[in-house]
Structure 1
Amino acid sequence: MRKIVSIISILGCLILLSCQGPRNDPSDENWTNLFNGRNLDGWKPVAGEALFEVNNKEIIGYAKANSPNTFLITEETYGDFILELDLKIEDISSNSGVMVRGQFDPNARDGNGLVFGYQVEADPTERAWSGGLYDEARRGWLYPLDLNPKAKSAFKMGEWNAYRIEAIGNEIKTWINGQEVAYVVDDIDAKGFIGLQVHSINNPEEEGNKTYFRNIRIQTENLSPTPFQGDVFVVNTGLNELTEFEKEKGWKLLFDGKTSNGWKGAYKETFPEKGWHIRDGILLVEGADGGESSNFGDIVTVEKFSAFDLAFDFMMSEGANSGVKYFVTLSEGNTGSAIGLEYQILDDERHPDAKLGIEGNRTLASLYDLIKADKQTRFVKGPGEWNKGRIMVYPDNKVEHYLNGVKVLEYVRGSGEYRDLVAISKYKIWENFGEATEGHILLQDHGDEVQFKNIKIRILP
């Protein structure tokens, strides 16, 4: 019996160690400790008034009411590296994060200084976006965890959490407690400091709440990137590029950035001769009179798709109206834009269509004329800025729309609820609208200039 218990104990230890992910041997000579466990030598606080102290080989940050975000940053800067540390949060108000390749402008905010750049999130709220990547004081969220919902459970409130961050070349990858979390390809910052955040709070009753950090170490030489094993979505801010990881997972570009290969005019055999252009890796439709498919016409993929994950970047001109349609069959014989389910592209502030339909179901990222996108203003980029759209159609007919990494709606094609919505929409005249087994992807010409890039798709099994 004792032998059996011993074997079980050993197996349990091995399983526990395997769940810790790619954390390396502490004796590895490639590691350098960034925190000596005794004092804050090599670090300095900036931008806010929160206090940091060292106790029991831990850095403790104390929340300060009515102070801006405070960061304890390294005096040294780093380019390519692998960083590991432990982080603990005890109160839900203590949002935190780890700056990587961070930047600091000492003259900003009337000389009080401003920290900006990549921040790996520590989010104790129900939102649970810990390990996601945020661009502090600049572009906002690059990798919300709606893009990897399986990782939302990785962070443990009130416990030590093992963070691993790899910033190698233009790739940033994160792990929490061995769970693969975020994968971002971006080249805006190649070098910067490491920083530990104590987030701003407004409630004086929350003052003094603690955030803890320990075992902070870094590798800067002989770096060996750890490959992700799971099915993790990649946010790639390059221009019409795919990583090797994406290719391995079945992603392919629908637009190569150079030619119209794979596209044709709706109800046509060839690509439109005018109105649609490819310039510097961008696919754009000219602005005209605002008419629906009455100028240069829509374009569709030559290929048809059934269950898929489609991602695309789009930029609207002021007051623009357009859309990305899916399950387009081109069989209705109608005039105007081809019939299909539509991810709405719209300047909600300036285009009158935003006020039409039912309860906002014609606004940006909505399922046009059927379901309103539930989105927050801070996740919307206006005219002249690039937005990231995403449409996921699962084999069981569940569909999800995303805007800038945040899920804004979901529904099930062919369900009773779906058919009830169709019955009170403009699509009620089309039998079995949106329920085809496969169809084309369509980019709409609605008479306004809209630009597209980074159009990629993966077939879902």
Structure 2
Amino acid sequence: MNKQILSFFVLSIFFLVSCGQKTAETEDGWTNLFDGETLNGWHQLDGVAEFEVVDGVIVGTSVPNTPNSFLVTDKTYGDFILELDIRVDDESSNSGVMARGQYNPDANDGAGRVFGYQVECDPKERAWSGGVYDEARRGWLYPLTYNPEARSAFKLGEFNTYRIEFIGNTLKTWVNGQEVAYLVDDMDATGFIALQVHGIGKNPENAGKKTYFRNIRIQTENLTPTPFKNEVFVVSTIDNTLTSYEEDNGWKLLFDGKTSNGWRSAKAETFPEKGWTINDGVLTIESSDGRESANAGDIVTENQYSAFDLAFDFKITEGANSGVKYFVTLNENNAGSAIGLEYQILDDERHPDAKKGKDGNRTLASLYDLIKADKQSRFVRPIGEWNKGRLIVYPDNKVEHYINGLKVVEYTRGSDEFRALVAESKYAKWDNFGEAEQGHILLQDHGDEVHYKNIKLKELK
């Protein structure tokens, strides 16, 4: 073989081999974050779980006595669309994907701490896979109580395809093609991608359990958001605004953040001249002397509603009492607050009303004086922080109360059980209490400082 033929042969082999290698950027605009062979482009933070590459898959292996472990991209990203496959084989292997993740090297006495948005991989019975958890910061932002139909999307022991779109302030997730979470939040504009192996504490029986990641790719340019085909609840921390998606699905703001439009006094045709204030997008009832509707008085919506989904943010001060009432008819001529079904708003630790009533049925998020809210303290924000309330009245009269996405009360208006509760309550003296066909929404003045914002409603048919 002469030298020219040999040179041509060598160049041809090199060209063929080069074309066969996996490149970082693919033809359709995706960039591979994992080359299938090494952990180049990644580094580990926090815990010491083992990460290795086996047969083209990143395998994370749990170890005891270490915090959550994260395999983190060397690069950071702003807007992106991310896709990857995740598999867990055991219910103990909680995992997740950090989106715009953050790191504080000084946390934990200098040991450091990963924090920020995490799209969950939750193999337990709770099944909140695809929901959004704010790791080491605010906790759950989008639990799947907001979208229970998506809880069946994740499959234990199989590879599950995740799609995460974070464009501007909007984070949307899919699991195996199922639309899961829709979050609007602007806390972090950029950050890293990270793969989590959850800590197992001092449980040696869970050591050695594995989590698998593969086909990790990202788009960062010329992004087109994928519209949700079905309606899901939008969790937004952007004050007093609606997304176009919400508007298209019938949501309306009951408070515009600037004026009292749509509201009036429960005892007059106009909005109270004092006591209720609007500042920086927040509607506040000022503190007076703690008496019920004796100062500025309650305010009600000008419109009345029958079946609806109502969401609102509230923040209470120490020892405060207030409430969101519904099916308020204003026909009872009550001396104090107007009569209606009430989503109780209360400082359970400091206000004496929490110990009155029966079996705790006057505590926060309860159906006041009728049904106690079955809530977990770790899902309730402390005094001085904003909580998300929600109540849904379905066309069939089933009613649900939520706090921060968790359902804490469920009952049916007009049922035998409901009427039996009313008969033993302070409302027994009013005929057909809580069974009006429609009524106003009311915000209560109970003489204490309480704040409201992000009040939105969708009528249900």
Extract unaligned runs of 5+ from structure 2.
1-24
**AA aligned opposite 2:74:** E
Q: Is the aligned partner of 1:100 residue 2:99?
A: yes
**AA aligned opposite 1:38:** E
Question: What is the CA-CA distance between 1:229 and the residue it aligns to?
Answer: 1.1
Question: What is the CA-CA distance between 1:77 and the residue it aligns to?
Answer: 0.3
Percent of residue pairs bearing the same amino acid type: 70
Q: Is the aligned partner of 1:300 residue 2:300?
A: yes
Moved more, 71-80 or 422-431: 422-431
What per-residue deviation string (whole Å, max 9, x for no partner) do you get for residues 124-180 of structure 1?
111111100110000111001000011111111111111000000000000000100
TM (norm. structure 1) is: 0.94
Alpha-carbon spacing, 1:260–1:36, altered in 2? closer, same or farther (3 Å)? same
2:222 is paired with a residue whose SS is coil
- Point out 4+ residue stretches in structure 1 off by more than 3 angstroms: none
What per-residue deviation string (whole Å, max 9, x for no partner) do you get for residues 284-321 of structure 1?
00001110111110000000000000000000011100
The corresponding residue for 1:335 is 335
Question: What is the CA-CA distance between 1:267 and the residue it aligns to?
Answer: 2.1
Question: What is the CA-CA distance between 1:29 and the residue it aligns to?
Answer: 2.4
**AA aligned opposite 1:156:** K
The corresponding residue for 1:111 is 110
Task: Output the CA distance in 2 between the equivalents of 1:57 and 1:398.
Answer: 51
The corresponding residue for 1:255 is 255
Contact between 2:81 and 2:163, CA under 8 Å: does it hold in 1?
Answer: yes
The corresponding residue for 2:131 is 132
The corresponding residue for 1:146 is 145
The corresponding residue for 2:13 is none
What per-residue deviation string (whole Å, max 9, x for no partner) do you get for residues 361-403 of structure 1?
1111010011111111111112210000000000000111110
Contact between 2:26 and 2:32, CA under 8 Å: does it hold in 1?
Answer: no
Q: Is the aligned partner of 1:285 residue 2:292?
A: no
Contact between 1:67 and 1:201, CA under 8 Å: does it hold in 2?
Answer: yes
What per-residue deviation string (whole Å, max 9, x for no partner) do you get for residues 245-285 of structure 1?
00000000000111101000002100000000111111000
**AA aligned opposite 2:456:** K
Contact between 1:145 and 1:152, CA under 8 Å: does it hold in 2?
Answer: yes
1:245 is paired with a residue whose SS is helix
Number of aligned residue pairs: 436
Task: Output the CA distance in 2 between the equivalents of 1:407 and 1:44.
Answer: 39
Cα-Cα RMSD = 0.9
Contact between 1:134 and 1:142, CA under 8 Å: does it hold in 2?
Answer: yes
1:458 is paired with a residue whose SS is strand
The corresponding residue for 1:268 is 268
1:419 is paired with a residue whose SS is helix
The corresponding residue for 2:161 is 162
Task: Output the CA distance in 2 between the equivalents of 1:408 and 1:277.
Answer: 30
Task: Output the CA distance in 2 between the equivalents of 1:248 and 1:130.
Answer: 27
Task: Output the CA distance in 2 between the equivalents of 1:242 and 1:186.
Answer: 12
Question: What is the CA-CA distance between 1:200 and the residue it aligns to?
Answer: 1.0
**AA aligned opposite 2:253:** L
Task: Output the CA distance in 2 between the equivalents of 1:62 and 1:414.
Answer: 54
**AA aligned opposite 1:177:** N
Question: What is the CA-CA distance between 1:427 and the residue it aligns to?
Answer: 0.8
Contact between 1:318 and 1:383, CA under 8 Å: does it hold in 2?
Answer: yes
Question: What is the CA-CA distance between 1:336 and the residue it aligns to?
Answer: 0.2
Question: What is the CA-CA distance between 1:405 and the residue it aligns to?
Answer: 1.0
Task: Output the CA distance in 2 between the equivalents of 1:437 and 1:269.
Answer: 22
Moved more, 300-309 or 109-118: 109-118
> What pairs with 1:235-254 in structure 2 (closer than 5 Å)?
235-254=235-254
1:103 is paired with a residue whose SS is strand
The corresponding residue for 2:314 is 314
Contact between 1:347 and 1:382, CA under 8 Å: does it hold in 2?
Answer: no
Contact between 1:316 and 1:346, CA under 8 Å: does it hold in 2?
Answer: yes
1:327 is paired with a residue whose SS is strand
Question: What is the CA-CA distance between 1:27 and the residue it aligns to?
Answer: 5.9
Contact between 1:84 and 1:163, CA under 8 Å: does it hold in 2?
Answer: yes
Task: Output the CA distance in 2 between the equivalents of 1:41 and 1:28.
Answer: 21
Task: Output the CA distance in 1 between the equivalents of 2:250 and 2:262.
Answer: 17
The corresponding residue for 1:45 is 44
Contact between 1:388 and 1:405, CA under 8 Å: does it hold in 2?
Answer: yes
Task: Output the CA distance in 2 between the equivalents of 1:138 and 1:264.
Answer: 38
> What pairs with 1:21-60 in structure 2 (closer than 5 Å)?
28-60=27-59
Contact between 1:52 and 1:60, CA under 8 Å: does it hold in 2?
Answer: yes
Task: Output the CA distance in 1 between the equivalents of 2:353 and 2:127.
Answer: 34
Extract unaligned runs of 5+ from structure 1.
1-25
The corresponding residue for 2:87 is 88
Task: Output the CA distance in 2 between the equivalents of 1:447 and 1:301.
Answer: 20
1:146 is paired with a residue whose SS is coil
The corresponding residue for 2:14 is none
Alpha-carbon spacing, 1:421–1:331, altered in 2? closer, same or farther (3 Å)? same
2:38 is paired with a residue whose SS is coil
**AA aligned opposite 2:52:** E
2:421 is paired with a residue whose SS is helix
The corresponding residue for 1:396 is 396
Task: Output the CA distance in 2 between the equivalents of 1:28 and 1:336.
Answer: 69
1:418 is paired with a residue whose SS is helix
Task: Output the CA distance in 1 between the equivalents of 2:154 and 2:374.
Answer: 26
**AA aligned opposite 1:48:** G
Contact between 1:87 and 1:162, CA under 8 Å: does it hold in 2?
Answer: yes
Task: Output the CA distance in 1 between the equivalents of 2:214 and 2:356.
Answer: 54
**AA aligned opposite 2:76:** T
Question: What is the CA-CA distance between 1:239 and the residue it aligns to?
Answer: 1.0
The corresponding residue for 2:21 is none
TM (norm. structure 2) is: 0.94
**AA aligned opposite 1:111:** G
Question: What is the CA-CA distance between 1:28 and the residue it aligns to?
Answer: 4.6
The corresponding residue for 1:12 is none
